Structure 1
Amino acid sequence: MIEVAKRLQNVEEYYFSKKLREVALLKAQGKPIINLGIGSPDLEPPFKASMALQDSLVDEKAHQYQSYQGLPELREEISNFYKRHYTVDLSSQTEVLPLMGSKEGIMHISMAFLNKGDKVLIPNPGYPTYASVTKLLEAKPIYYDLKEKNNWQPDFKALERLDLRRVKIMWINYPHMPTGRNADNKFYDKIIAFGKRHNILIVNDNPYSFILNEKPISIFRYKDAKHVCLELNSLSKTFNMAGWRVGMLVGNYDFVSAVLRVKSNMDSGMFYGIQKGAIEALKCSDMWFQSLNSVYQTRRDLIWQLADNLNCTYDKDATGLFVWAKLPPHIKSEEFTDMVLKEHSIFITPGTVFGSNGEGYVRFSLCADATIIKEAIARV
């Protein structure tokens, strides 16, 4: 028997990878499962993006290896997008790196900056991949608390009390997944100062800023951010292009070039046609966002109704692609979601997937048609 690497001993298979097999098995047995657990957009991408992909297939160099840095016009359009929507100036030549999805970026950033035994500050609750990648690289995750009483923002006094020796990276994510909370100006000023004070790379994972959010924010709007920050972004949620795998990393040249050194050894460039489609998506007008959010607004109103019927409470000021709902007292998240799946054939996500501070909460996805959500309401 050939043993797997020791690094896998502390890393489990991704929750949704396992759970979706269970859901698929139930469907195969004839169960009418409604999936409100996964944040995979079901709406169409921009028409011009799809047409650009299709038209590109006959271009002379469409099927050759592509640049590790992406097409110059894609980097230029990412820069334009940041200028237009975030009021942030970026050099397309030195401060922008297209990625095959921002999840790839989490691994590449970690590989570029972490040594064995280094530490990483990870939000609890937060995206599970931050911790998984940290463990795979034999670094140590240090979880910092996010709690409802603090509006799901970190307690900076508690952060300062931590042993910050060997901490190299801190992951932040606003609008926050899974809770949907936004951060205020004071938070960004504090987190940048914290990074400078302790020589910690602050990485803002920012894929949800245009979903039901009137004021999209980039961390690079704030003073000195380029000294200690990187930002990940994605077309997956903003343009319904999750399966295309188009993300981006932005930041100063030194940080971005370090990540490129990793990336250039890991892949052979993004498919030409996908890049051409991404360029067209990034050019979308404000009408695109208004139309997209109109659909999500309708769905969110229905999810709120479903949550009401399940005796859950929620924050109507939250943003993003999910509804984070609090369970009645003394009810465990996984027991509740298993009950809902068994009794109503509805799959929702237990809050504990995102960390111990997710206990007592569940997450509903907005990635289902209104008729499907109405059916879920009727079942409950």
Structure 2
Amino acid sequence: MQLAKRLNGIGEYYFSQKLREIDTMNKAGDNVINLGIGSPDLPPHPEVIKVLQEESAKPNVHAYQSYKGSPILRQAIADWYQNWYNVQLDADTEILPLIGSKEGIMHICMTYLNEGDQALVPNPGYPTYRSAVKLAGGECVDYALTEANNWQPDFEALEQLDLSKVKLMWVNYPQMPTGQLPDAAVFAKLIAFGKKHQILICHDNPYSFILNEEPVSLLAQPDAKDIVLELNSLSKSHNMAGWRVGMLCGAADRINEVLRFKSNMDSGMYLPLQLAAAKALQVDNSWYDTVNEEYKRRRELAYQLLDLCGCTYSKQQVGMFLWAKVPAEFENGFAFSDHFLYKAKVFLTPGGIFGSAGDGYCRISLCSSEARIKEAISRIETII
């Protein structure tokens, strides 16, 4: 069978390939310590699990659900945005629950991009932005993020581009993989840039609650709804990655446009899962504090590991990763990653998977226990 042209240039997701290799190594007895994947190893709040259990036991909750999601979940999202981001959203018209925010990236691209349309994609940035644009028939236009510019867009450079075919711009703060905090001035410039060129600014915002004392939303900017769609997720903030619960927020017209595509792709989300997600959004500050205390302890150990490897990094990062420059003795982050995988049986993510601007960097995940990170340090000490 001949593959569809849309798959040209689209390879298997890097982590999908690497996890298979690590699985093979583990079957051979290597017991690889995986510090690469950002999949939370901590559980959700106990009350969240309790709601799922209780609601799932009811006989009348197993039917198809609304394509727009449960009103209870939409209202919980609206309240969460008001409480934490000071953003007012209409629960009926400005919120679309998603089966994970990753699907929302695809939905947005399929809704707005025709063949030949372009999208601005951060380099380095989340690889799914690039693949979703290509799968929708669009073309990626990289905009470089550099350490010298605090991993923020260079708007003067953007203005020099031919933007006539650009319809979307993907942005992500706190930024992944670099951990860069959002900047109010940059947010204001993004809104102005989008309005000036009629480019829809798509903000991916799943990391704002991890090791970050001041969560912010791009939608909090004045008149942001005119030009912004924001994705958010319970995966990282509430330790619910496998539950696949996300959300899309923005103006009612934009939500309805994306719904036209989404409603042809799935048949709604399991109701008990939605009700449990609503409960998750109602947890108090103390739960977030407890989770972040655990991440702080892990981060201190990750600093030790990176120091041992000879990496340099900023301690001003937020989120569940650390982004670090690899020593000059390694050709790039891939060589660095493979060295420690094959010599010490410790996997660190090569920065180059996030774009060419990440070639000289690596990323370490904080989603492993203190004991596992300590073991990784011990293994690396034996090969230094």
CA distance in 1, matches of 2:262, 2:241: 20
Which position in structure 1 is the counterpart of 2:15? Answer: 16
CA distance in 2, matches of 1:364, 1:94: 39
CA distance in 1, matches of 2:47, 2:218: 29
**Unmatched runs of 5 consecutive residues or more in structure 1:** none
Q: CA deviation at 1:61?
A: 2.6
Q: CA deviation at 1:197?
A: 0.1
CA distance in 2, matches of 1:53, 1:173: 31
Which position in structure 2 is the counterpart of 1:356? Answer: 356
Which position in structure 1 is the counterpart of 2:372? Answer: 372
Q: CA deviation at 1:137?
A: 1.4
Which position in structure 1 is the counterpart of 2:238? Answer: 239
Q: CA deviation at 1:59?
A: 2.5
Which position in structure 2 is the counterpart of 1:80? Answer: 79
Which position in structure 2 is the counterpart of 1:193? Answer: 192
CA distance in 1, matches of 2:329, 2:377: 24
Report the TM-score when normalising by structure 2. Answer: 0.98
- The alignment status of 1:285 with 2:284, answered yes or no, reads yes
Report SS of the residue matched to 1:121.
strand
Report SS of the residue matched to 1:170.
strand
Which position in structure 2 is the counterpart of 1:342? Answer: 342
CA distance in 1, matches of 2:120, 2:152: 14
Q: CA deviation at 1:6?
A: 1.0
Report SS of the residue matched to 2:292.
helix
Aligned length: 379
Task: Show structure 1 runs of 4+ deviating over 6 A.
Answer: none
Report SS of the residue matched to 1:10.
coil
Which position in structure 1 is the counterpart of 2:304? Answer: 305
**Unmatched runs of 5 consecutive residues or more in structure 2:** none
Report SS of the residue matched to 2:43.
coil
CA distance in 2, matches of 1:29, 1:328: 30
CA distance in 2, matches of 1:162, 1:61: 55
Report the TM-score when normalising by structure 1. Answer: 0.99
Q: Report the RMSD for the aligned CA atoms in angstroms.
A: 0.7
CA distance in 1, matches of 2:202, 2:60: 34
Which position in structure 1 is the counterpart of 2:25? Answer: 26
CA distance in 2, matches of 1:296, 1:147: 26
Could you list the per-position Cα deviations for residues 192-213 of structure 1 after superposition, in whole angstroms to 9, with x for gaps in the alignment? 0000000000010000000000
Which position in structure 1 is the counterpart of 2:178? Answer: 179
Q: CA deviation at 1:62?
A: 1.1
Greater displacement, 184-193 / 59-68: 59-68
- The alignment status of 1:128 with 2:127, answered yes or no, reads yes
Report SS of the residue matched to 2:8.
helix
Q: CA deviation at 1:183?
A: 2.0
Could you list the per-position Cα deviations for residues 276-315 of structure 1 after superposition, in whole angstroms to 9, with x for gaps in the alignment? 1101100000001100100000000000000000000111
CA distance in 2, matches of 1:91, 1:109: 20
Percent of pairs with identical residues: 53
> Which aligned pairs between 1:1-380 and structure 2 lie closer than 5 A?
2-329=1-328, 331=330, 332-380=332-380
Q: CA deviation at 1:329?
A: 2.2
CA distance in 2, matches of 1:71, 1:59: 16
CA distance in 2, matches of 1:154, 1:285: 34
